[in-house]
Structures are given as structure tokens and as C-alpha cells.
């Protein structure tokens, strides 16, 4: 109610200003052209008619629905267009009714346009004048803008016309050398991005704002590498859509994020392919409350499934994603089930009742160090949980089964990776013989922000004052964001057939030490000064780097160049099922020799003490 009252009040003020502008424009036009104002019925008719003309044409051109502190060139053109139409409808008063002179009408319209512009630019002019007078105050944040394009120009204008944040633009840098030496709203372009460190020092810059939202991630990473040699905080505009929607403003700025620094652009997928096999299908996501599972549910929910079944053993996670989807997709046919994939009777019952068409099996124990101390649980959950769900998918004629795997399954040195390799072998074998179901395993690396990933751990360690712990200074990993990984998993499902293993292209590997260093810098702190980085040594089962393929595997391309197919390794199926029976028996009876039993089944598994 209060908000509506404020809008009505603003509208009334603008209408009153337009009435005053109309009256003053007419009076001055008569004085300028005729030299006097003679009261007559003719002038009164002309005056009353123009009151209607002004309000009608200004409303048609939406001049009463502007955000007055963001008025720009487009709004100026609208005012000019509206006054041109007002001039046209005034022509009959000159040549048909002979009420006024042509020069009077022309002068009236010119003055009206000027006063209408003054009304609508008044708020911006007020803040600009206020900014200019307060420009030298010491409490301003001295700012360097990266980018002299549209985003940079809009950002500077926003800073100069807002009282929300006390930024003081000192200078601009841009890699277009033709812009160097020129000014934007009084702020000079003093160099290229290579000059950031020297300019930051020379002008005592407090904060650097990156205003190039359309730039590729490789360029953002390079610029950030330059920025982090300074002691300045760094913020960025998040995306080009901010410019399109008019949100290229101070409020749209955010801290540079680790995902900005991966050195590659966001991975794109073919949404039509995803929609083609998800739409109007019953979808089940096991482990649906986890970081990968919940993002699968979010993206599936946008593709019109017939029903979405979230299956998870952990009720809190399942409840959270269920409530989120109920709020964001109230029309969605949603069902959350609490169950363990290890419970073969329960899983069979779920398939029998709900007959899912597509299954995404994300349920797994994934923490490498924990699985080293609990190998039997890794086998029970990862291997036999997957086996239970896969067998039910085949038994009840599901269309597609997608297994979430990991690059740690390649030449594994830990129990978690080895169990995931066994899952791939199961999917390959069942998929080879299934008459109804297309089986596929999708192999990818570390996912930024997922449960157990390094980024949340680093953030907590920084919040606690350090130190930030890295196992080895040279350890490298492939990284993706959660939405990227999940969207590729969804698209991989469209290509599924015959027990394939898909390998996602994750770009260039990243040093974990560099991630820690950059995250500390992004927090406004100095690595190894404010927050120490401590190398603790490789954990049990951990490698310096992860491979994506085994030596025996090759790669085939799919229509999406970022999804590749690993050539299958021939398996002795009789030996596989016999070994699985032995493995199950040993796990149930809590064997102390699980690693060696796994090694018999996975020849590429290296046991590390």
C-alpha cells in the first residue's frame, strides 16, 4: 500500500510539472513570437486542447513510467517524438482554424520538449551536482574501473547519480588503445589492463570494479591475476544479461568468484535434446538431496517431467530440495521418498509402484578419506546400491539409467574411486544385455561448491582465521560448477545406449594451491600474511592428479564436443558376477581385507598405505 502511494505521489508530481511546463511554454511562445499575451477565447481553446494533447501523447510514449534516476538517451528520444506528434496535431490550429501563428506553435513545442526533459532529468542532475560538490571527501572509496564500454559508462553514471555507495571513480583502463586518453563522464581512461598495478599504486586505489560482463572467462582470469598483485578489493558485474535488463549498476556488482577464475567460459548444452527425453517422463533421482542430486532435480523440474521422484536416505536434504521445488515449481508433480539404495526390497517396491522412465543414480559415499577408513561401507553403498537400482531399472523396463561416476575411477588409488570403477563395470555389463534400458555412466572431476569439495572447506578455514590447508603444493584437479556438471549429465542421458562411459571435458586442470591463494585474495586478505596456507601432505588414497581415461580406453566424440565416449574395456562377465558375490559376502561380514578383494576385481586399483 505504501509503495503504491509513493508511485501515485510521484505520478501526481510529474503531471503537475508537465502542466506547469505546458503553461510556461505557451506563455513564453506568445511573448517571444507575438511580443504580448492578449486574452481571447481562441487562445483558451488552444490552451485547453493542448492540455489533452500533452497528457495523451506523453502517456502513449510512457513518459510517466520512467525510473527517473536512470533516464537516458532513449527517454530523450521519446520526449522528442511525443512533442513532434503534439506539433502535428497543432497544425490545424494554424492552417484550418487560424487561431495561432505557425512560429508560436513551433516555439511552444520546442520549449515544451526542453522543460519536459528538465523535469525527467532533474533527479539525475540533482545527484550529479551533489556528487560533484562532495567529490573530494575523504570517506569515498577510490575506484579504478576496468572497461570503457557500455557497462563501464553505465556503471560510472550510476555511481555519480546514486547515494547508495560512496564510490569515487578515479580512472578507467581499457585494452582498446583508441580509448586511452579519452574521458567518460569526467573520468579519464589512463591506460590498458596491463597498467592496473601501476595505476592502483599511483592513485591510491581502494577498489577495482571489472565492468566487462561480456568478456570470456580467460580474459577475466588474466585481469584478476593483474588485480591480485595490488592490495585492492575486486568486484565485477556478473553477466551481459545485467546490461540488457538495465541492472548494470552499483547494486549488481559482486565479488569475483572462484568460478570466474577457471579460465574458460561457461559450458553450454543443447536444451532441446534434454527436453526431448525428459519431458512427460517419470524421473527418479537417487541421492536427490545431495549437491549433485539436488541440482539435477532443479534442472529436471524446468523441463516438464510427468513426475519427479526424489529418493534419499538423509531426510533433511530431501526435505530441503522438496520444499524449494514446491515454492519454485508449484505445478510440478513431486514425490520425496526416504529410502536407501542398499535396501533391495525397498528399491524393488519403489520401481514396482512408480515405474520411473529415467533414473539418475547420484546416491553414493563420495568422501575419499572417510571411505579409506570405512571401505566396507563404500562397497555396500556404492557398489551394491548401484547394482540394486540398475537391476530394478532393467527389470521394470526403464528407458534410461544414468550413473554418476568420477575421474577417480580411472586408475584408482582410493577405495571410493575403485568402487566407482566397479559401478562403471556393472553399468557396462547390464547395459550390454538389457533389452529395454539404455545404460550410461558419466565420468567427471571435482565440482565447485559440492558437498566435500575444497571451496566450502577453504571458505570455512578463512572465516575461522586460517590456516588454509592444502595437501600438496603441486596437486591439480579438473573443476566444474555444479550447474555445468549437471547440465552435461542431463545431455549425456540423451546419448545413452549400451552401457557406455561418457567423459566430460572439464577444460584445463587447476592447482589447488592457486585456488586457496585466490580465495584468500578474494576475501580481501593477504595469503601467508593474514591467512597462512599450510601443505599437510597427501591424504590416504590421494593422487597429485586425476586422469580421465585408462590406458586401454580411447575417446569418441558426441554431437556435443564436450561429452566424449570412452571406448569400452572388454570384461570377463562370469568373473565379474562371481567376484561381486564374494565381495558382497565379505562386506556383509565386515571383512578386514576389503582393499585386496577390490583389487582382484579392479586390476588398475593401486593400494596405497
Q: How far is CA 199 from CA 178, 189, 583, in A?
A: 18, 11, 64
Cis check: omega of the bond before 467, within 30 degrees of 0 = yes
Q: Is the pLDDT of residue 225 over 80?
A: yes
Say what the pLDDT of residue 491 is.
79
Is 432 tagged catalytic? no
Quote the pLDDT of residue 196: 94
What is the average pLDDT across 505-529? 78
| Structure confidence by residue, pLDDT tens digits, 540-575 | 766 676 655 444 445 666 666 667 777 778 888 888
C-alpha dihedral (512, 518, 522, 526), degrees to nearest 10: 120
Does residue 153 surpass a pLDDT of 70? yes
CB within 8 Å of 157: residues ≥ 6 apart: 185
- 538 versus 404: which is more confidently predicted? 404
Percentage of residues in the chain with pLDDT exceeding 70?
82
Position 572 scores a pLDDT of 85
Q: What is the mean pLDDT of residues 153-165?
A: 74
Higher confidence at residue 145 or residue 126?
145
Mean pLDDT of the chain: 83
- Mean pLDDT of the region 225-243: 71
Q: Mean pLDDT: which of 146-160, 188-202, 270-284 is highest? A: 188-202
pLDDT at 224: 84
Residue 106 reports pLDDT greater than 80 = yes
Please state whether 311 falls in left (phi above 0), alpha (psi between -120 and 50) or beta. Answer: beta
* pLDDT band (50, 70, 90) for residue 130: low
Which is more confident, 478 or 357? 357
For residue 506, pLDDT over 80 is answered with: no
User: What pLDDT, on a 0 to 100 scale, did the predictor assign at position 126?
Assistant: 66
pLDDT tier for residue 252 given thresholds of 50, 70 and 90: very low
The pLDDT of residue 249 is 46
How many whole angstroms separate alpha carbon 416 and alpha carbon 370? 9
pLDDT band at 581 (very low <50, low <70, confident <90, very high): very high
* pLDDT reported for residue 244: 37
Query: Looking at the predicted structure, is the pLDDT value of residue 333 above 50?
Result: yes
Our measurement of the distance from residue 181's CA atom to the centroid of its chain's CA atoms, rounded to an integer in Å, reads 35
Q: Which of 408, 420, 521, 543 is catalytic?
A: 408
pLDDT at residue 472 in the model: 87
The pLDDT of residue 246 is above 80: no
> Does residue 125 have a pLDDT over 80?
no
Residue 555: per-residue pLDDT: 61
Length of the chain: 609
pLDDT recorded at residue 32 = 87
- Rounded to the nearest 10°, the torsion over CA 117, 119, 120, 126 is 110
For 348-359, what is the mean pLDDT? Answer: 97
Q: How confident is the model at residue 261 (pLDDT cuts 50, 70, 90)?
A: low
Residue 466, sorted as left (phi over 0), alpha (psi -120 to 50) or beta, turns out to be left
Cell 588454509 locates to 468
Rounded to an integer, the average pLDDT of 14-30 is 90
Rounded Cα distance, 412 and 418, in Å? 5
pLDDT in tens, 269-295: 666 666 778 899 999 999 999 988 999
Amino acid at each position: 500500500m505504501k509503495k503504491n502511494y509513493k508511485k501515485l505521489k510521484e505520478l501526481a508530481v510529474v503531471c503537475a510539472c508537465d502542466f506547469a511546463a505546458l503553461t510556461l511554454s505557451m506563455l513564453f511562445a506568445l511573448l517571444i513570437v507575438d511580443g504580448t499575451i492578449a486574452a481571447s477565447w481562441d487562445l483558451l481553446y488552444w490552451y485547453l486542447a493542448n492540455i489533452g494533447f500533452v497528457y495523451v501523447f506523453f502517456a502513449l510514449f510512457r513518459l510517466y513510467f520512467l525510473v527517473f534516476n536512470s533516464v537516458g538517451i532513449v527517454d530523450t528520444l521519446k520526449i522528442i517524438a511525443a512533442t513532434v506528434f503534439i506539433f502535428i496535431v497543432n497544425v490545424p490550429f494554424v492552417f484550418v482554424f487560424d487561431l495561432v501563428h505557425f512560429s508560436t506553435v513551433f516555439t511552444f513545442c520546442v520549449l515544451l520538449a526542453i522543460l519536459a526533459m528538465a523535469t525527467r532529468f532533474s533527479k539525475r542532475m540533482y545527484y550529479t551536482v551533489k556528487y560533484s560538490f562532495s567529490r573530494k571527501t575523504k570517506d569515498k572509496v577510490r575506484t579504478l574501473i576496468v572497461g570503457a564500454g557500455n557497462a563501464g559508462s553505465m556503471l560510472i553514471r550510476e555511481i555519480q547519480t546514486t547515494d547508495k555507495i560512496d564510490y569515487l571513480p578515479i580512472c578507467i583502463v581499457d585494452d582498446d588503445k583508441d580509448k586511452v586518453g579519452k574521458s567518460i563522464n569526467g573520468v579519464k581512461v589512463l591506460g590498458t589492463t596491463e597498467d592496473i598495478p601501476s595505476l592502483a599504486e599511483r592513485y591510491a586505489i581502494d577498489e577495482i570494479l571489472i565492468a566487462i560482463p561480456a568478456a570470456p572467462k580467460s580474459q577475466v582470469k588474466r585481469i584478476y591475476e593483474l588485480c591480485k598483485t595490488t592490495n585492492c578489493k575486486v568486484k565485477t558485474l556478473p553477466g551481459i544479461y545485467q546490461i540488457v535488463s538495465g541492472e548494470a549498476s552499483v547494486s549488481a556488482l559482486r565479488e569475483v568468484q572462484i568460478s570466474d577464475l577457471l579460465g574458460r567460459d561457461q559450458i553450454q548444452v543443447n536444451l532441446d535434446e534434454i527436453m526431448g527425453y525428459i519431458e512427460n517422463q517419470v524421473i527418479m533421482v537417487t541421492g536427490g538431496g545431495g549437491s549433485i542430486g539436488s541440482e539435477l532435480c532443479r534442472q529436471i523440474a524446468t523441463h516438464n517431467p510427468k513426475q519427479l521422484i526424489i529418493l534419499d536416505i538423509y531426510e533433511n536434504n530431501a526435505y530441503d530440495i522438496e520444499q524449494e521445488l514446491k515454492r519454485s515449481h508449484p505445478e510440478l508433480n513431486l514425490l520425496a521418498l526416504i529410502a536407501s539404495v542398499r535396501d533391495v526390497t525397498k528399491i524393488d517396491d519403489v520401481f514396482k509402484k512408480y515405474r520411473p522412465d529415467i533414473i539418475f543414480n547420484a546416491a553414493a559415499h563420495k568422501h575419499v578419506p572417510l571411505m579409506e577408513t570405512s571401505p566396507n561401507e563404500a562397497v555396500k553403498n556404492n557398489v551394491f546400491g548401484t547394482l540394486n537400482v540398475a537391476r530394478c531399472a532393467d527389470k521394470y523396463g526403464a528407458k534410461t539409467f544414468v550413473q554418476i561416476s568420477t575421474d577417480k575411477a580411472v586408475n584408482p588409488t582410493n577405495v571410493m574411486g575403485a568402487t566407482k570403477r566397479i559401478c562403471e563395470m556393472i553399468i557396462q555389463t547390464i547395459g550390454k544385455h538389457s533389452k529395454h534400458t539404455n545404460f550410461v555412466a558419466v565420468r567427471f572431476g571435482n565440482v565447485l561448491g559440492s558437498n566435500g569439495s575444497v571451496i566450502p572447506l577453504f571458505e570455512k578455514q578463512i572465516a575461522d582465521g586460517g590456516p588454509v590447508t592444502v595437501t600438496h603444493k603441486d596437486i591439480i584437479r579438473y573443476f566444474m560448477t555444479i550447474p555445468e556438471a549437471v547440465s552435461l549429465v542431463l545431455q549425456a542421458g540423451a546419448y545413452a545406449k549400451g552401457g557406455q562411459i561418457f567423459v566430460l571435458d572439464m577444460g584445463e586442470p587447476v592447482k589447488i594451491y592457486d585456488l586457496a591463494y585466490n580465495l584468500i585474495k578474494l576475501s580481501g586478505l593477504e595469503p601467508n600474511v593474514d591467512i597462512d596456507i599450510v601443505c599437510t601432505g597427501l591424504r590416504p588414497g590421494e593422487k597429485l592428479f586425476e586422469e580421465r581415461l585408462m590406458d586401454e580406453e580411447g575417446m569418441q566424440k558426441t554431437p556435443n564436443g564436450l561429452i566424449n565416449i570412452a571406448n569400452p574395456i572388454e570384461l570377463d562377465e562370469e568373473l565379474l558376477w562371481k567376484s561381486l558375490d564374494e565381495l558382497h559376502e565379505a562386506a556383509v561380514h565386515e571383512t578386514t581385507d576389503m582393499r585386496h578383494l577390490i583389487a582382484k576385481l579392479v586390476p588398475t586399483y593401486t593400494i596405497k598405505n
